Amino acid sequence: MLPLLVALLLAAAPIAPAAPTPVATPPGLVDVAGRLPDAVLDIRYATADNFVGRPLYPVARCLLLPEAAARLERAAVALRGRGFRLLLFDCYRPLSVQRALWKAMPKRGFVADPATGSHHNRAAAVDLALADLAGAPLEMPTGFDDFGPAARAWATDGVSARARRHRALLRDAMTAAGFTVNPVEWWHFDAPGAAALPLLDLPLDGEQGAGAGPAKAGPWP
């Protein structure tokens, strides 16, 4: 009788859900979420909320070269002390996705030609904004990937005083960490030495594709 009762109790017990399979990180890159657990991830190319109108990434994650991630961490620490968190839109972007963006908007100055690539394709650029300590986005000059004149890094027309202040706080923290701002995109920052780095087409889920080698660091000052 007792074995039967035990068997019935085991059968009635709820089955614990399987633990999610960890997503591998491509060799040579680091997952920024591990270094900045308070960063707000709003990876737009993993959603349909981007100028292409459809998801282009299989997962929403921010990957960078270790040196770039360390600089981003420095900026985050400085901003955290002033009551802000980082809101991340895009980091490493596979070259295959760059080709899709170029197909949708083949216009230099708005989208980098995949023939020369973006610093995102080198895992040495990050698109970001500010959030408050609760994670709510703060007012910025424009939305992400806005192609209008107010998106320029020093635009004033149509940009509120509060948005200019937030933009300046972000820019000051990022440049103090060694990044440079893209003059036509207030949200885009490049790590130093990015132009000398190779273009990468490593998948974001870490599964090695044909011809894809590990990311290599370049001449970091």
The answer to whether 187 and 153 are in contact (CB under 8 A) is no
Structural domain spans, the chain: 27-196
Burial class (CB within 10 angstroms; exposed 0-12, middle 13-18, buried 19+) of 164: middle
CA 187-137-67 angle, 5° bins: 45
Q: Give catalytic residues, as residue numbers.
A: 185
Task: For the chain, 221 residues long, give each residue's pLDDT as a single digit of tens.
Answer: 544 444 444 444 444 444 345 678 999 999 999 999 999 999 999 999 999 999 999 999 999 999 999 999 999 999 999 999 999 999 999 999 999 999 999 999 899 999 999 999 999 999 999 999 999 999 999 999 999 999 999 999 999 999 999 999 999 999 999 999 999 999 999 999 999 999 999 999 976 543 344 555 444 33
The amino acid present at 84, given as its one-letter code, is F
> Could you confirm whether domain 27-196 is CATH 3.30.1380.10?
yes
